[in-house]
Structure 1
Amino acid sequence: MNINKIVIAGAGTMGYSMAQIFAQFHYQVMIYDLSDKAIENAKKRISENIDILIDEKEITSQQGQEIMSYLSYTTSKDCFKDCDLVVENIIENVDIKKSFYKDISQIVSENCILATNTSGISINELASSVNKPERFIGMHWFNPCHLILLIEIIKGDNTRDDVAQTIYQLSLDIHKKPVIVQKDVLGFAANRIQFAVLREALFLVEQGVISKEGIDDVMKYGLGFRYACLGPLEVADLGGLDTFYHISDYLMQDLCDSHEIPRSLKEHFDKEEYGVKAKKGFYDYQDGKDLEVVQQRDEKLLKVFEALYK
């Protein structure tokens, strides 16, 4: 299935980042949003990103202009009439997403693929509002899009194999590392692993076993450093499955297996301490620390990216 024209629905951070990446690989990209303000912000941020790439000599000024020429912006649903792919990136609300799909799946052509960037909402649930759900699929990107290579491609019960393979090949063509999640499960693959780690990490902190700073250091300087190079099954193979078997015999029964929201996470939520966006979470982000921590994150990710994958 040929992909030439792409509509990114939702002009937020993830949306304009995806659009820029597709444009860099010469796809015709339209960014759609209901909000004129969101559209203007997307234009501004993409222009700033292009200027940074030019300043850092990653691309020439001419290449920057060429990237911009592949991008268009609109608040009109007419953009859905002649596209080959829609990648939806609107608010993470089931009802709003279903209403969106019920509407646009009647506008797009029969051969248009509809993909959602949801980070965990059931693909089957969203597909129930799609006309011709066999062309509906999950395409889960990770923030920041320009540095995180992984894309999860999630099949619903009705998703055609050729649709999944088309999105898989498209992901390769834009130099990403796609994986196909064959079954629609809540959280897909990455978030299930992420939240399993978070649950055990918060459990250890809440039990007084280790400080919050200590548990983050365990991940950054030990497990995370290792997992930047190896997957968990590769780690087990290299460590010896006999060793992992014997550890599992006594450790599995002692791990946190609570089905409740972790207590400390709930406490911060109840206080509206949402992390960087609220300038307070597990850590304090006031007095410019919010911008500083995001900048440090991106700088470190870029160094890892350049060392391992560039």
Structure 2
Amino acid sequence: MEIKKIVIAGAGTMGYSMAEIFAQFEYQVTIYDLKEEALMLAQKHIKDNIQTLVDEHEITVQKAQSIINSLSYTTQKDCFQDCDLVVESIIENVDIKKSFYQDISQIVKENTILATNTSGISINDLASSVYKPERFIGMHWFNPSHLILLIEIIKGDYTSDEVAQAIYQLSIDIRKKPVIVQKDVLGFAANRIQFAVLREALSLVEQGVVSKEGIDDVMKYGLGFRYACLGPLEVADFGGLDTFYHISEYLMEDLCDSHDIPTLLKEHYQAGEYGVKTQKGFYDYTEDKDQKATQQRDDKLLKIFNALYKNQGEL
């Protein structure tokens, strides 16, 4: 299944980031959005990002121009008529996504692959609105997409193996690390692990066992540092499965297994404190601390990326 022309539906942060990455690998990419102002903003962000790469000698001026030439922007649905792949990254609303697929799946060619970048909505649920659902699949990217290598590829009940393999190979071709999630489960793989960790972390903070700063330090300087190099099953192998078995005998029954939304998370949500986007969450991000925190995050991720992958030649 040859993929040359790609349409990214949705000009938000994830949308234009994915488009830029595809364009770097010489795919012809169109960004589609209902709002002209969203497209203009996406174009500005991409040009700024490319200029930064040129200034930092990551790419040549010629390469930068090639990337720009590979991109186009439109509010017109006729862009879907001759594309080989659609990657949807519109609002995380089931009804809006279903309406989109019900419409677009009738416009595209019958062999066009339709992929959603949803972070947790059921692939099977969305597929119910897709004409020829065997070509529908999840392609879950992670933010910031230019640094996070993982792409989750989620198969629905009707997704063909050929489509899954095509998206898997595409992910490798753009130097990502794809993982195929064979069954459609809520949250897929990454978010299920992430929320299991968050549930236990908030439980420990709520019980007064450790402070919020302390629990973040446990992850950053201990578990997260180790997990940057090894997966949880590899960690268990190195630690000894006998050791992990005996710890499991007394620890598993004591771990938080609540099915309720964690109290601390609910309190911040009800107060309208959503984190960096509102300048307040578990931490305070007022007085430009949001911008500084974002820059620090990206700088650290870039150092880890360079140390573990780029500078080691793994990619």
| TM-score bin (small chain) | over 0.9
TM-score when normalising by structure 2: 0.98
Match of 1:190 in 2: 190
Per-residue CA distance 1:198-223 (angstroms, 9 max, x = gap): 00000000000000000000000000
Alpha-carbon distance in structure 1 between the residues aligned to 2:57 and 2:66: 15
**Residue identity matched to 2:187:** G
**Residue identity matched to 1:28:** Q
SS at match of 2:7: strand
Match of 1:288 in 2: 288
SS at match of 1:42: helix
Q: Unaligned stretches of 5+ in structure 2?
A: 311-315
Summarize the alignment of residues 120-269 of structure 1 with structure 2, pairs less than 5 Å apart. Answer: 120-269=120-269
Per-residue CA distance 1:108-139 (angstroms, 9 max, x = gap): 00000000000000000000000000000000
User: Which runs of at least 4 in structure 1 moved beyond 3 Å after TM superposition?
Assistant: none
Alpha-carbon distance in structure 2 between the residues aligned to 1:69 and 1:174: 18
SS at match of 1:105: helix
Shift of 1:285: 0.3
Per-residue CA distance 1:236-277 (angstroms, 9 max, x = gap): 000000000000000000000000000000000000000000
- 2:315 is aligned with 1:305: no
Per-residue CA distance 1:122-179 (angstroms, 9 max, x = gap): 0000000000000000000000000000000000000000000000000000000000
Alpha-carbon distance in structure 2 between the residues aligned to 1:81 and 1:66: 24
Shift of 1:230: 0.1
TM-score when normalising by structure 1: 1.00
Shift of 1:197: 0.1
Alpha-carbon distance in structure 2 between the residues aligned to 1:62 and 1:107: 35
Q: Unaligned stretches of 5+ in structure 1?
A: none
Alpha-carbon distance in structure 1 between the residues aligned to 2:94 and 2:194: 22
Alpha-carbon distance in structure 1 between the residues aligned to 2:293 and 2:31: 29
**Residue identity matched to 2:280:** K
**Residue identity matched to 2:277:** K
SS at match of 2:293: helix
Match of 1:39 in 2: 39
SS at match of 2:178: strand
**Residue identity matched to 1:60:** T
Summarize the alignment of residues 25-174 of structure 1 with structure 2, pairs less than 5 Å apart. Answer: 25-174=25-174
Shift of 1:62: 1.1
**Residue identity matched to 1:148:** I
Per-residue CA distance 1:40-69 (angstroms, 9 max, x = gap): 000000000000000100001111001101
> Equivalent pairs: percent with the same residue?
79
Alpha-carbon distance in structure 2 between the residues aligned to 1:292 and 1:124: 40
Per-residue CA distance 1:182-203 (angstroms, 9 max, x = gap): 0000000000000000000000
SS at match of 1:139: strand
Alpha-carbon distance in structure 2 between the residues aligned to 1:61 and 1:289: 34
Alpha-carbon distance in structure 1 between the residues aligned to 2:221 and 2:186: 30
RMSD (Å), alpha carbons: 0.3
Alpha-carbon distance in structure 1 between the residues aligned to 2:62 and 2:292: 32
